[in-house]
């Protein structure tokens, strides 16, 4: 093992990969490892709705070719899940029972699709649109021109919905508290935005709370959503889009402060000097509101990756958002969001 | 020997007797190249006589030689012959016998060919009980290459390669061959030609690996040690009560190298290599009888 | 090289006790049964017992290929410590399959997941746990992994069931049941996994006209011997030729034939020659060190004009060398070994089918030309498996001997009589009227020893000339040209197992726009001068890759034909890498070399 410091990034998304890029820029010799639960190289999740436009080769979504990682001497450990962080010994314990030492740690695990408890039992009957694999799974389950019932309808889901409409599918949104997540929409503004969805060709139905999902494969459609009210809606595919929940369970014994996300100061450092966090997993201290808050969207997350890396290298730069988080209705009546903005 | 007067022998009659006996049928047209007085003449005579007396057809006999004074032996016998390499007579003979059980295979060679370079093969031919006859001509010297020491040269013997004297103990071939498990072991002496001929016949007649140790002075390169004069005094018949089925008794006789006992030291009947190979084939499911019947057709 | 349809190379890597070789065996048998072409090469540890590394590689294709691929499509780790060094063999977007719930805690770097190249796709599954759930024991780990590969890549489940049942048919029924259960558990998981690979199994090629046999080079030699009617075999164990003897001592007795383990290699060839003299088809098999011991006997076989067949599987040398590594460094010994001018026939097959054909033809040739015939394999060829499809109409001559015509009375049979073709009619012991003695001494027509100048000169010429007919021996292709016709930039002259990699490299070079061709040479002695010469004429540069240090065949070719060749020599103990040959082709063609992938 080389004596160069080992900088370990948990998470293979925008924040983690941006951080790796900056770390390597600043230090040619340090060891950099990215630990990823998924099987793939860093790819662009924002473009995944394109799967329905016929862009199905996962390699088309890669942000960097495989050589990028070898050329920059970045070790990528995929299908590796961090089970525990032993801060005292500065070791990660991976679920496959391998210990990996670190000198500094950046947690950039992001969030997992949130699923309300009542829907967890029937999770196998519903889809989530979070990864390439889940996108392909949904694509394969959906007949041409078929009907998608989207429960919740966060901004990730609504982005998908507009592509589905564009490509000739039918989309029905069953709104709930997390519709438009991460935008926080007041009760009086909601009807306006829901109406905008209908302008976009998305059916919005309001039968109240969902009771269960039924498997009706063999019939005309594969799924049926049953509401508490007794009403039902048939669907080829049911997709749950209730926003993301930070993935922090493995940090519970790491000795850092956690609320919903990892709590970090504006320099993105946790309550331990050697551990930083960036992206959807962290809550950043905000002086004005005297509290910790999340920042979402590609631009924020990328910025966090950059800031955390610079600070890990000894800088003292605070994170400041440049994103105006306003959900807007355009002239044609459709909605648009800064969270849908993505530029390579 | 009595002093009784013998009938005169007339050469023409003797020659006719010899021709009528068929003994010459196994002589080839080539004249031997050995030194006058060499024991190989007795051996050739013994072999051709025995083959004749055993009623074998010339073409069904193969004579195998290696390198040494015995090299050219096959050329002097009117049978199929294979003059092989130094020390390799036994494995070649094993191949011939394995290929065709109907052949009578006689191997001839000296003490150097057999117990120096070829010493590694004798135990295996013996333990396999290859049905061949090994006539080993022990003269205690390398004759063909003009007088070098051999594995059976006696201590103190001076040769061209032991000019000061041989300080190595000679091998005891008979004890070795007995312990290797040869199924027929005998000793003869070139100076006792009729006994030798009889022993060769017995050796060939034995079904299995027969080893005949033939003591034979080298008249050219050994003027002091294993001479006819010395050997005539040393050799003796095996005791009349020697039990040739008793391997340990044979061992004791074989150890008496100062007074070599002539005769059959040991014999036993046990399956030959071919018997065993056939048994293996049978247990593997082959119909050996059918094969033999086919071959006989 | 582009293969029509399927082309998947699957490697299992583990300890000796992990069932690595067994699972590779099931894979190749199943794929052959499903109708694919299979080529497979296993590597074993040199240690007799213990935990040495085993690698079993199987290439499944839609058409016949001549080599393993340099890059593996799928690597399965049954033991990470052994698999890690092989992780880099997997191509981009190929699969690496491993256990993500191993028994014990590991230090950093001990798990294979930390060693994958960025382009490779990891598939992690709790192999041991699945085995324990499916069978109650962790001994089915290999089958779980195999099942996973089969499920993931869409291999046919039912043929595996058949092969598993066949493999364990002599064991208690529970063994088949457990292995099948473990396989199925892995299969279901694999079938449910997402395949990120662009490559998968294609439909098997149209059913071959004839039965496909799955043979290793050594077992093909055995089949060739049996098909040619071998009567006697004598051998002495030596890696990597031993399996030839082990199979012959099993198979020959079933046919009433005789096979024997002798006390050493000298006895083995001596008995082979003895049996040959007695008129039966006989053979021995050995490796380089054994051939060195046999050299004197080869001379006897030449001088006495007695047929003998010697199979030689080369390994790393000199001396004891590297017994479990492959090399092509016994060519000089095979062609020239021994004293005097001892011309003999040397055949070097390039693939498993060739092993079968050369084995059978060796008996025909030995008998026809009354000479030793050496069939030169190497460890790579001996141990690798291929599907062999040969027409049942292709048979070997039952007898090729130019038999003695009984002499007129009063005439003496001349064993070494001068004839037009240099081949003297031969009598064998037991034949009346044919009595003669053969000898290692120079001899006259009758076989009588002679050292007269004219006799030695005439007989030397006779022994030499009679072999020149061997290049026209029917039923065997002794040279063959592949690739571009006409003039080429680079011509690759290759022999033995290295021809496979050479062909692959040649095809890749053609894909890159380099005009090139490859010629395989099967008859190493006597050298087929005319076709080799014509081939060399057509090439701007001639490349001769071989697995020996000095370029033994290059020496023979350039020495015989008097013209230079570009040598590519290496002795890694493993097959030559396609990339190494390809880069040499590029260099000779004036193109830039590229880094090996």
- Provide the strand spans (E) within C298-361: 308-314, 345-347
Cα–Cα dist C137/C159, whole Å:
24
Among residues C388, C414, C441, the one where a domain terminates is: C388
Which stretches of A50-176 are assigned E, i.e. beta strand? 74-77, 82-86, 91-94, 99-101, 104-107, 111-113, 147-152, 170-174
Report how far residue C63's alpha carbon sits from residue C6's, in angstroms, rounded to the nearest whole number: 8
DSSP symbol at C88: G
| C301 and C244 inside one domain | yes
What is the rounded CA–CA span in Å between residue B277 and residue B289? 13
Q: Which residues of C touch B120 (CB under 8 A)?
A: 263-264
Reported as a single tens digit per residue, the pLDDT across C135-186 is: 999 999 999 999 999 999 999 999 999 999 999 999 999 999 999 999 999 9
Q: Is the previous residue joined to A182 through a cis bond, with omega within 30 degrees of 0? A: yes
Closest residue of chain C to A81, computed from CA coordinates: C100
| CA atoms within 13 Å, Cβ hemisphere of C597 | 16
Categorize the per-residue pLDDT at A35 as very low, low, confident or very high, splitting at 50, 70 and 90: very high
Q: Is the pLDDT of residue B194 over 90?
A: yes
C227 Rama class: left (phi>0) / alpha (psi -120 to 50) / beta = alpha
* Non-local CB neighbours of C383 within 8 Å, separated by 6+ positions: C41, C42, C216, C217, C218, C240
User: Mean of the pLDDT values across residues B198-224?
Assistant: 96
Report DSSP state, residue B116. I
Cα gap B60→C409, rounded to integer Å: 19
C554 touches chain B (CB under 8 A): no
CB-CB under 8 Å, C429 with B100: yes
Candidates C538, C545, C107, C572; CA nearest to C350 is: C545
Residues C375 and C244 in one domain: yes
- The residue-averaged pLDDT of C190-200 equals 89
Mean pLDDT of C405-416: 82
In a domain, C103, yes or no: yes
- Cα separation, C262 vs B109, in Å, equals 21
Q: Is the pLDDT of residue B3 over 70?
A: no
Confidence at residue A62, expressed as pLDDT on a 0 to 100 scale: 95
Q: pLDDT band at B8, cuts 50/70/90? A: confident
Give the closest of C254, C267, C279 to B284, CB-based.
Answer: C254
First vs last C-alpha separation in chain B = 53
Residue A23 has pLDDT above 50, yes or no: yes
**Stretch C207-215: mean pLDDT, rounded?**
86
* Residue ranges of domains in chain A: 6-110+247-312, 114-244
Average pLDDT estimate for C518-522: 98
**Residue A277: its pLDDT value, please?**
98
Count Cβ atoms within 10 A of the Cβ of residue C17 and give its class: 0-12 exposed, 13-18 middle, 19 or more buried. Answer: middle
Cβ atoms of residues C569 and C584 within 8 Å: no
Q: What is the mean pLDDT of residues A91-111?
A: 95
Residue C592: its pLDDT value, please? 83
Q: How many domains, in total, are found in chain C?
A: 3
Helix (H) or strand (E) holding C138: none
CATH superfamily of A6-110+247-312: FAD/NAD(P)-binding domain (3.50.50.60)
C74 close to C9: Cβ distance less than 8 angstroms: yes
Q: How far apart are CA C465 and CA C419, in angstroms?
A: 11
Nearest CA to C378 out of C454, C317, C300, C426 is that of C317
Q: Which helix (H) or strand (E) holds B90?
A: helix B89-99
Mean pLDDT of the region C75-85: 95
- Rounded to the nearest angstrom, the minimum Cα separation between B51 and chain C is 15
- Minimal CA separation from A77 to chain C, in Å: 5
Does C312 reside within a domain? yes
Confidence label for C2 from pLDDT (cuts 50, 70 and 90): low
Query: Which residue of A lies nearest to C127 if distances are taken between CA atoms?
Result: A96
- Specify the range with the lowest mean pLDDT, choosing from A323-327, B280-284, C237-241: A323-327
Of the three residues C388, C419, C438, the one that is the final residue of a domain is C388
Pick from C173-187, C189-203, C404-418 the range whose average pLDDT is largest. C173-187
Q: C220 and C352 share a domain?
A: yes
The residue among C230, C218, C292, C227 whose CA lies nearest residue C256 is C230
Closest CA to C10 of C23, A294, A238: C23
3-state secondary structure of C499: helix
Nearest to B95 among C270, C304, C448 (CB): C270
Tell me the CATH architecture of domain B30-272.
3-Layer(aba) Sandwich (3.40)
Element (H, E) at A211: strand A210-215
Confidence check: pLDDT of C590 > 50: yes
Give the whole-angstrom CA distance, residue C67 versus residue A207: 65
In a domain, C208, yes or no: no
Reduce the DSSP state of residue C114 to 3 states and report it: helix
C111 is a domain residue: yes
Structural domain contains residue C206: no
C363 φψ region: left (φ > 0), alpha (ψ -120 to 50), beta (else): alpha
Q: Is C594 exposed, middle or buried (0-12, 13-18, 19+ CB in 10 A)?
A: exposed
- Residue of chain C minimizing CA distance to B122: C263
CB spacing of C92 vs A66 below 8 angstroms:
yes
So what's the pLDDT on residue A344? 58
Fold adopted by A114-244: FAD/NAD(P)-binding domain (3.50.50)
A28 in Cβ contact with A5 (< 8 Å): no
The answer to whether C32 touches C159, Cβ cutoff 8 Å, is: no
Which chain B residue's Cα is nearest to C306? B82
My answer on whether C243 and C348 are in the same domain is yes
* The pLDDT of residue C49: 55
Of the CA atoms within 13 Å of residue C454, those in its CB half-sphere come to 1
ipTM of the complex: 0.94
- CATH of residue C229's domain is 3.40.50.970
Per cent of chain B over pLDDT 70 is 96
CA atoms of B148 and B69, how far apart (whole Å): 13
Q: What is the pLDDT of residue C597?
A: 45
C86-99 burial: b if 16+ Cβ within 10 Å, else e: bbebbbebbbbbbb
The CA-CA-CA angle for residues C353, C358, C362, to 5°, reads 160
Residue C262 lies in a domain: yes
For residues C46 and C101, is the Cβ–Cβ distance under 8 A? no
Strand partners, C546: C569
Alpha-carbon distance B20 to B248, whole Å?
A: 43
Burial of A285 (0-12, 13-18, 19+ CB in 10 A): middle
For B43, the enclosing helix (H) or strand (E) is helix B40-53
Same structural domain, C141 and C282? no
Full-model pTM? 0.89
Contact C270/B98, CB-based, under 8 Å?
no
- Dist. CA A15–CA C487, nearest whole Å: 58
Nearest alpha carbon to residue A131 among A78, A200, A66: A78
Tens digits of per-residue pLDDT, B119-140? 999 999 999 999 999 999 999 9
The Cα A324–Cα A331 span in angstroms is 19
Banded model confidence at residue B5, pLDDT cuts 50, 70, 90: confident
- For C448, name the nearest residue in chain B, comparing CA atoms only: B75
DSSP three-state, residue C578: helix
Q: Are strands A262-264 and A275-277 parallel, antiparallel or unpaired?
A: unpaired
Strands C121-125 and C90-99: parallel
A179: Cβ contacts below 8 Å, ≥ 6 apart: A152, A153, A154, A173, A185, A190, A194
**CATH number of the domain enclosing C16:** 3.40.920.10
Bridge pairing between strands A275-277 and A104-107: parallel
pLDDT tens for each residue of B41-96? 999 999 999 999 999 999 999 999 999 999 999 999 999 999 999 999 999 999 99
Backbone torsions φ then ψ of B13, nearest 5 degrees: -65, -45
Q: What is the mean pLDDT of chain B?
A: 93
> What domain range includes position C261?
215-388
Q: Domain boundary at C132, C160, C192, which?
A: C192
CATH of the domain at C543: 3.40.50.920
Sorted by sequence, the CB contacts under 8 Å of residue C161 that are 6+ apart come out as: C180, C183
Go through chain A and tell me how many residues it has.
344
Nearest CA to C294 out of C372, C216, C231, C190 is that of C372
Domain boundaries, chain B: 30-272
Q: Is residue C503 part of a domain?
A: yes
A126: alpha, beta or left, given left = phi > 0 and alpha = psi -120 to 50? beta
Q: Which chain B residues are Cβ-neighbours of C271 within 8 angstroms?
A: 91-92, 94-95, 98
CA atoms in the 13 A half-sphere facing the CB of C13: 24
Work out the average pLDDT over C455-469: 96
**Residue spans of alpha helices (H) in C206-241:** 217-227
Could you say which DSSP state residue A127 is in?
Answer: B
Are C231 and C357 found together in one domain? yes
* B85 lies within 8 A of chain C by CB: yes
CB contact under 8 A, B80 and C436: yes
Give the minimum alpha-carbon distance from C125 to chain A in angstroms, rounded to a whole number: 10
B189, B211, B251, C1 from B178: Cα distances, Å = 19, 9, 7, 66
Same domain, C164 and C270: no
Q: Give the CA distances from residue A175 to residues A19, A190, A237, B159, C128, in Å, rounded to whole numbers and listed in that order.
A: 36, 10, 16, 116, 45
Q: Tell me, yes or no, if the two domains A6-110+247-312 and A114-244 fold the same way.
A: yes
pLDDT at C408 over 80: no
Q: Is C100 on the interface with A (CB under 8 A)?
A: yes
Cα–Cα nearest to C211, from C25, C393, C385, C7: C393
The reply to whether residue A41 touches residue C118, judged by beta carbons under 8 angstroms, is: yes
pLDDT of residue B11: 86
Work out the average pLDDT over C433-445. 96
Greatest alpha-carbon span in chain C: 90
Q: Are A187 and A211 in contact (CB under 8 A)?
A: no
Given CB atoms, is B60 within the 8 Å cutoff of chain C? yes
């Amino acid at each position: 093992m080389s004596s160069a410091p080992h900088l370990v990034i948990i998470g293979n998304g925008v924040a983690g990969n941006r951080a790796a890029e900056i770390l390597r820029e600043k230090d040619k010799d340090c060891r950099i490892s990215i630990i990823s639960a998924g099987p793939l190289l860093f790819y662009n999740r924002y473009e995944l709705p394109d799967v329905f436009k016929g862009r199905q080769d996962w390699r088309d979504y890669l942000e960097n070719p495989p050589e990028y990682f070898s050329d920059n001497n970045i070790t990528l450990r995929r299908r590796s899940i961090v089970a525990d962080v032993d801060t005292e010994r500065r070791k990660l314990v991976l679920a496959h029972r391998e210990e990996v030492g670190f000198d500094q740690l950046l947690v950039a695990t992001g969030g997992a699709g949130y699923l309300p408890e009542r829907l967890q039992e029937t999770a196998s009957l519903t889809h989530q649109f979070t990864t390439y694999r889940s996108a392909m799974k949904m694509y394969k389950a959906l007949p041409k021109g078929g009907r998608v019932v989207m429960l919740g309808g966060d901004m990730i889901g609504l982005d998908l919905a507009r592509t589905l409409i564009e490509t000739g599918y039918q989309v029905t949104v069953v709104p709930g508290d997390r519709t438009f997540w991460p935008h926080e929409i007041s009760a009086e503004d909601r009807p306006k935005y829901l109406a905008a969805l209908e302008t976009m060709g998305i059916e919005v139905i309001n039968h109240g709370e969902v009771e269960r999902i039924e498997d009706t494969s063999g019939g005309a459609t594969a799924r049926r959503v049953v509401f508490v009210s007794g009403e039902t809606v048939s669907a080829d595919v049911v997709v749950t889009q209730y926003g993301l929940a930070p993935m922090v369970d493995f940090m519970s014994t790491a000795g850092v402060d956690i609320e919903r996300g990892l709590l970090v100061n504006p320099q993105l450092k946790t309550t331990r000097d050697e551990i930083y966090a960036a992206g959807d997993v962290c809550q950043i201290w905000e002086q004005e509101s005297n509290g910790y808050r999340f920042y979402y969207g590609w631009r924020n997350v990328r910025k966090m990756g950059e800031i955390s890396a610079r600070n890990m290298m000894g800088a003292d730069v605070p994170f400041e958002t440049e994103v105006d988080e306003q959900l807007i209705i355009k002239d044609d009546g459709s909605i648009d969001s800064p969270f849908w903005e993505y530029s390579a | 020997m009595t002093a009784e007067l013998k009938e005169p022998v007339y050469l023409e009659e003797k020659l006719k007797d010899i021709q009528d006996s068929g003994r010459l049928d196994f002589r080839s047209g080539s004249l031997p190249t050995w030194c006058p007085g060499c024991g190989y003449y007795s051996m050739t005579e013994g072999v051709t006589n025995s083959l004749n007396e055993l009623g074998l057809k010339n073409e069904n006999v193969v004579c195998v030689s290696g390198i040494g004074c015995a090299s050219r032996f096959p050329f002097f016998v009117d049978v199929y012959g294979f003059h092989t390499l130094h020390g390799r007579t036994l494995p070649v003979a094993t191949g011939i016998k394995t290929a065709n059980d109907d052949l009578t295979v006689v191997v001839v060679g000296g003490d150097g060919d057999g117990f120096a370079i070829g010493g590694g093969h004798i135990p295996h031919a013996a333990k396999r009980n290859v049905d061949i006859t090994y006539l080993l001509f022990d003269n205690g010297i390398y004759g063909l290459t003009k007088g070098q020491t051999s594995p059976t040269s006696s201590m103190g013997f001076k040769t061209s390669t032991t000019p000061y004297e041989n300080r190595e103990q000679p091998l005891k071939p008979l004890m070795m061959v007995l312990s290797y498990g040869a199924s027929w072991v005998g000793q003869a002496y070139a100076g006792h030609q009729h006994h030798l001929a009889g022993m060769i016949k017995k050796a060939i007649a034995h079904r299995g690996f027969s080893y005949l140790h033939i003591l034979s002075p080298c008249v050219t390169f050994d003027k002091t040690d294993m001479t006819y004069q010395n050997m005539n005094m040393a050799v003796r018949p095996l005791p009349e009560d020697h039990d040739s089925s008793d391997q340990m008794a044979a061992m004791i006789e074989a150890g008496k190298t100062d007074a070599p006992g002539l005769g059959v030291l040991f014999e036993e009947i046990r399956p030959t290599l071919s018997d065993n190979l056939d048994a293996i084939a049978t247990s593997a499911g082959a119909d050996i009888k059918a094969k033999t019947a086919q071959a006989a057709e | 090289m582009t293969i029509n349809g399927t082309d998947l190379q699957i490697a299992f890597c583990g300890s000796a006790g992990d069932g690595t070789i067994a699972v590779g065996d099931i894979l190749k048998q199943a794929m052959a049964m499903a109708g694919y072409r299979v080529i497979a090469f296993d590597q074993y540890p040199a240690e007799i017992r213990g935990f040495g590394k085993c690698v079993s590689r199987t290439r499944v294709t839609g058409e016949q290929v001549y080599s393993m691929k340099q890059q593996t499509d799928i690597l399965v780790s049954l033991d990470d410590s052994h698999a890690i060094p092989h992780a880099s063999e997997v191509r981009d977007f190929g699969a690496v399959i491993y256990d993500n719930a191993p028994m014990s805690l590991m230090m950093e770097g001990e798990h294979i997941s930390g060693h994958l190249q960025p382009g490779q796709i990891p598939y992690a599954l709790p192999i041991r746990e699945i085995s324990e759930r499916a069978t109650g024991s962790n001994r089915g780990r290999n089958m779980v992994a195999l099942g996973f590969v089969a499920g993931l890549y869409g291999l046919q489940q039912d043929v595996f069931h058949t092969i598993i049942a066949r493999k364990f048919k002599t064991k208690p029924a529970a063994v088949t049941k457990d292995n099948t259960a473990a396989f199925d558990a892995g299969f279901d998981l694999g079938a449910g996994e997402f395949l990120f690979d662009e490559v998968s199994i294609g439909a098997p090629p149209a059913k071959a006209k004839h039965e496909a046999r799955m043979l290793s080079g050594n077992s093909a030699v055995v089949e060739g011997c049996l098909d040619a009617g071998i009567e006697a075999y004598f051998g002495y164990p030596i890696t990597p030729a031993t399996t030839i003897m082990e199979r012959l001592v099993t198979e020959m007795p079933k046919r009433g034939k005789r096979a024997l383990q002798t006390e050493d290699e000298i006895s083995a060839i001596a008995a082979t020659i003895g049996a040959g003299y007695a008129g039966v088809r006989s053979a021995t098999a050995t490796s380089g060190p054994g051939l060195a011991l046999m050299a004197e006997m080869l001379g006897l076989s030449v001088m006495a004009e007695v047929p003998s067949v010697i199979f030689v599987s080369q390994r790393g040398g000199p001396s004891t060398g590297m017994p479990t590594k492959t090399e092509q460094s016994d060519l000089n010994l095979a062609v020239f070994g021994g004293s005097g001018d001892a011309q003999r026939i040397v055949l070097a097959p390039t693939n498993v089918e060739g092993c079968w054909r050369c084995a059978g033809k060796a008996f025909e040739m030995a008998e026809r030309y009354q000479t030793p015939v050496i069939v030169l394999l190497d460890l790579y060829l001996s141990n690798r498996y291929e599907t062999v499809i040969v027409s049942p109409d292709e048979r070997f001559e039952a007898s090729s001997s130019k038999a003695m015509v009984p002499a007129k009375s009063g005439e003496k049979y001349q064993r070494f009589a001068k004839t037009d073709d240099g081949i003297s009619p031969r009598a064998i012991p037991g034949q009346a009227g044919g009595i003669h003695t053969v000898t290692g001494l120079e001899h006259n027509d009758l076989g009588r020893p002679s050292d007269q100048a004219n006799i030695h000169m005439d007989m030397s010429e006779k022994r030499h000339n009679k072999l020149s007919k061997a290049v026209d021996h029917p039923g065997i292709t002794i040279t063959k040209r592949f690739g571009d016709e006409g003039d080429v930039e680079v011509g690759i002259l290759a022999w033995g197992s290295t021809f496979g990699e050479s062909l692959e490299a040649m095809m890749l070079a053609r894909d890159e726009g380099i005009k090139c061709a490859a010629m395989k040479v099967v008859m190493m002695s006597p050298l087929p001068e005319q076709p080799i010469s014509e081939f060399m004429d057509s090439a701007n540069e001639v490349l001769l890759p071989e697995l020996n240090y000095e370029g033994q065949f290059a020496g023979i070719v350039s020495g015989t034909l008097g013209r230079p060749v570009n040598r590519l020599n290496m002795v890694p103990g493993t097959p030559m890498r396609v990339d190494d040959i390809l880069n040499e082709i590029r260099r000779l063609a004036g193109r830039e070399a590229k880094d090996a992938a």
